[in-house]
Amino acid sequence: MSDLLAHLNPPQLAAVTLPAQHALILAGAGSGKTRVLTTRIAWLISTGQVGAQGVLAVTFTNKAAKEMQARLAALLPINTRGMWIGTFHGLCNRFLRAHHREAGLSAQFQILDSADQLAAIKRLLKNLNIDDEKYPPRELMHFINAHKEQGIRAAQAEAYDAYTSRRVELYAEYEGQCQREGVVDFAELLLRSYELLQRNEPLRQHYQARFRHILVDEFQDTNRLQYAWLKLLAGRGSGKPDTPGGGACLFAVGDDDQSIYAFRGAEIGNMHDLQREFELPEVIRLEQNYRSHGNILDAANALIKQNRGRLGKNLWTEAGAGEPIRVFEGYSDIAEARFIVEEIGELVRNGVSRQQIALLYRSNAQSRVLEHQLFTEGLPYRVHGGLRFFDRQEIKHALAYLRLLANPDDDTAFARVVNFPTRGIGGRSIEALQEAARQTNSSLYNAAASLAGKPGSAVARFIALIESLRAETKDLPLPEVIDRLIERSGLRQHYLAEKEGQDRLENLDELINAAAGFVHDDGGPAVDGEEAVPDGGPLASFLAHASLEAGEHQAGEGQDAIQLMTVHAAKGLEFDIVFITGLEQGLFPHENAAQEREGLEEERRLMYVAVTRARKRLYLTHAQTRMLHGQTRYCLPSSFLEELPVELLRRINRAVASAPAAAPRPAAGAGWPKPAATNGLRIGQNVRHTRFGLGVIVSTEGAGPEARVQVNFGSGGMKWLALEYAKLTPA
Ligand code: ATP
Ligand code: MG
């Protein structure tokens, strides 16, 4: 017990050992909020103030939830499996599985991730013959999700103009479609749970009596609905918390400077509401940072100072200043990635463990170049979030078959694989099916089954395939079910025949491995006194896991690998060495946000999150040109770089000319061959390009596969071209 509290400073200790009351801890990055939260759970349980089943803890990622469980298991002599520790989505999923009937769902309900949701909306618009230029599916999706996150159903949504009222109708249609198909999207998981708790009094009372302590990490990023759900569970009564009728103690930790989900409806106002509604006597602050060296912390403080309306915090550290922050500019995204990979090679040779190195980027699309370089150098890496394992095409196909086995009414799954691999079911047959399904108000699968046409038709064969698969696999363990369906559906054959199908086959094998390693946690009887929660069985629970997990079961887990992720996904994590890449105007800060002060401030908070992930060494890198979405962009350095005190920075000029693209470049830096070596082309030479026409070379750099020339194409503009690809001919 004393061990438990030994490694805490006085304000942390005070927070951990608070009596049964509500509390908000507002503190900067790396000040120990998550540690305090975890230790408090351990303290409450070990001192007998609450049983493991009386605790509900909300974390930001599944990874954080697992870490918390592991830490608790190490601190306490209890089995922590089955404890209610998880993300909002994960916990709501568990709640709805346990009470699916009351929630109006089948035991097998499936979860739509955002890609599935978009596909479902597109299908809806098509079915209703709606012009998707007038009602862009993505916008409609945001419209629907924003309403759900405010707790507003289509029936209650307000519309003051014809366009919005049409969108509300479409929202209602979408609700109907999901219900028919037995699927729920992410926002629905929460809204359903909330509504169920609200309308079902016995259930609400049961959970309110059960949870004595509710603890929430990253509270600044909760949205209105999540906050409302927490309030409902906490069951604020008139008495003191944790007394009969008094409801649970709500213990929230957060950092307003790390609020990075305003675009998704997170409300910093929740912090104020919490203080007011739960009558918090005081807000507890922690100011000592235990994570980062001084220079890194100074940089973070200087940056966030530019934001207005902060609640105000001052972070300090006892760690020394440490190393300067390294800044590198590459002439292209490829050069940037090469630099990073060279540095990593050096670090690893010097004994740094790979999983202590993180590459962060603002947008998922940036990871490809980094991945390519890492791959080329044979450095193992893992991508978290974003390009998730479960998002890959082949995995989604296999999962769609699995979903159809679990729930034939899942139209999204049906539409995905009815003709994949191709089996001669054309667009027209599918339209006919959709029409029939609409008329009979049934699922595509049912329509297909009753309308399969002449026996032996392609549709009839598909239905027969699914039916026989279901019968065959009924009693098989999950990995074998998946293996069988990959074989029988023709997926394996399809990818075997595909030129680049090897990777995909490996991923499919990895899916079988994931299923084999998947622990079907049925909620009990792990915790003393915990009732077993019916949850739809291993298949449904594996599918839910696939929809909810952010790439945490991809290939190579457990291997010592370099960590790649977006800045959003890095929240709460820490690494010895961090590279923040792509620090360019328009990319980070993102162009969608840079125009308005609020948008820019949110981007700055994101940058603050990124900087404060680093313990010992921080690299900031950017490139002069970047290929994004198929176009080469010319980039200016991010304005955030200018906001950092220069005395903290050290520029690294390795092997790269750093002059702006349009000016003549200075003599090539060390390591670069002379410009004359650019494949025989020289400055002043006239050249012809198949697309841009005639031009004149104005500067050159690099050699061999690196060689690039800048060409003035007159009215076609000034372009940097890689000689290897550009196919320039002397003119
Ligand atoms: P973030 O805002 O980024 O989520 P946080 O406030 O949750 O950060 P933690 O992750 O809990 O911070 O702690 C940061 C690091 O400091 C962790 O490695 C943690 O173990 C360590 N730490 C926290 N408090 C102490 C302490 N009193 N003594 C030593 N190390 C500590
Ligand atoms: Mg934390």
Report helix, strand or coil for 183: strand
ipTM: 0.99
Residue 548 reports pLDDT greater than 90: no
The lowest-confidence range among 20-24, 114-118, 714-718 is: 714-718
With contact defined as beta carbons under 8 Å apart, do 512 and 478 qualify?
A: no
What is the number of helices (H) and of strands (E) in the chain?
27, 21
Residue 628 reports pLDDT greater than 50: yes
For position 672, what pLDDT does the model report?
A: 30
pLDDT for 715-727, tens place per residue? 666 677 777 777 7
Q: In terms of pLDDT, which residue wins out, 632 or 289?
A: 289
Long-range contacts of residues 474-482, Cβ cutoff 8 Å, at least 24 apart: 478/515, 478/516, 478/518, 478/538, 478/539, 478/542, 479/512, 479/513, 479/515, 479/516, 481/402, 481/405, 481/515, 481/539, 482/398, 482/402, 482/511, 482/512, 482/515
Handedness of CA 145, 149, 153, 159 (dihedral sign): negative
The domains of the chain are located at 10-101+190-288, 110-181, 296-388+554-651, 390-518+538-546, 677-730
Residue 431 bridge partners (DSSP): none
Tokens matching residue 427: 């667009």
For position 552, what pLDDT does the model report?
A: 43
DSSP string, 16-39: HT--SS-EEEEE-TTSSHHHHHHH
Residue 687 reports pLDDT greater than 50: yes
Q: Assign domain 10-101+190-288 to its CATH architecture.
A: 3-Layer(aba) Sandwich (3.40)
For position 313, what pLDDT does the model report?
A: 80
Provide residues with CB under 6 Å of ligand 1.
7-9, 12, 27, 29-35, 255, 258, 290-291, 572, 574, 612
Q: Which residues contact 33 (CB under 8 A, 6 or more apart)?
A: 25, 27, 217, 253, 254, 255, 286
User: Which pTM value belongs to this model?
Assistant: 0.76
Which one-letter amino acid corresponds to residue 312?
G
Q: Find the catalytic residue in 33, 94, 97, 626.
A: 33
Q: In terms of pLDDT, which residue wins out, 243 or 585?
A: 585
Considering the domain 296-388+554-651 in this protein, what is its CATH number?
A: 3.40.50.300
Report helix, strand or coil for 315: coil
Considering the domain 677-730 in this protein, what is its CATH number?
A: 2.30.30.390
Fold annotation for 390-518+538-546:
PCRA; domain 4 (1.10.486)
Q: In terms of pLDDT, which residue wins out, 376 or 618?
A: 618
pLDDT for 162-177, tens place per residue? 999 999 999 999 999 9
Residue 674 is among the residues annotated as catalytic for this protein: no
Whole-angstrom distance, CA of residue 468 vs CA of residue 286: 61
With contact defined as beta carbons under 8 Å apart, do 51 and 45 qualify?
A: yes
Could you tell which of 7, 12, 16, 34 is best to mutate to test the pocket of ligand 1, judged by most ligand atoms within 8 Å of the CB? 34
With contact defined as beta carbons under 8 Å apart, do 207 and 69 qualify?
A: no
For position 690, what pLDDT does the model report?
A: 78
What percent of the chain shows pLDDT beyond 70?
86
Residue 126 is among the residues annotated as catalytic for this protein: no
What radius of gyration do the chain's Cα atoms show?
Answer: 28
For position 378, what pLDDT does the model report?
A: 85
For position 196, what pLDDT does the model report?
A: 97
Residue 535 reports pLDDT greater than 90: no
In Å, the largest CA–CA distance within the chain is: 89
Two domains, one topology: 10-101+190-288 and 296-388+554-651: yes
556-570: average pLDDT:
82
Residue 652 reports pLDDT greater than 60: yes
For position 679, what pLDDT does the model report?
A: 60
Q: In terms of pLDDT, which residue wins out, 671 or 272?
A: 272
248-274: average pLDDT:
84
Which one-letter amino acid corresponds to residue 660?
P
DSSP string, 256-279: GGG---GGGTB-THHHHHHHHHTT
For position 585, what pLDDT does the model report?
A: 94
Distance 316 CA to ligand 1 centre (A): 13
Q: Find the catalytic residue in 116, 149, 185, 218.
A: 218
Q: In terms of pLDDT, which residue wins out, 153 or 707?
A: 153
595-609: average pLDDT:
91
With contact defined as beta carbons under 8 Å apart, do 187 and 149 qualify?
A: yes
Count of alpha carbons within 13 angstroms of residue 151, beta-carbon side = 12
Residue 33 is among the residues annotated as catalytic for this protein: yes
Q: How confident is the model at residue 655 (pLDDT cuts 50, 70, 90)?
A: low
With contact defined as beta carbons under 8 Å apart, do 621 and 635 qualify?
A: no
For position 388, what pLDDT does the model report?
A: 54
pLDDT for 52-100, tens place per residue? 999 999 998 877 888 899 989 988 888 888 899 999 999 999 999 999 9
With contact defined as beta carbons under 8 Å apart, do 393 and 119 qualify?
A: no
Could you tell me which CATH class the domain 110-181 is placed in?
mainly alpha
- Give kind and range of the element (H or E) at residue 640: helix 639-642
For position 85, what pLDDT does the model report?
A: 95
> Please, what is the average pLDDT of the chain?
84
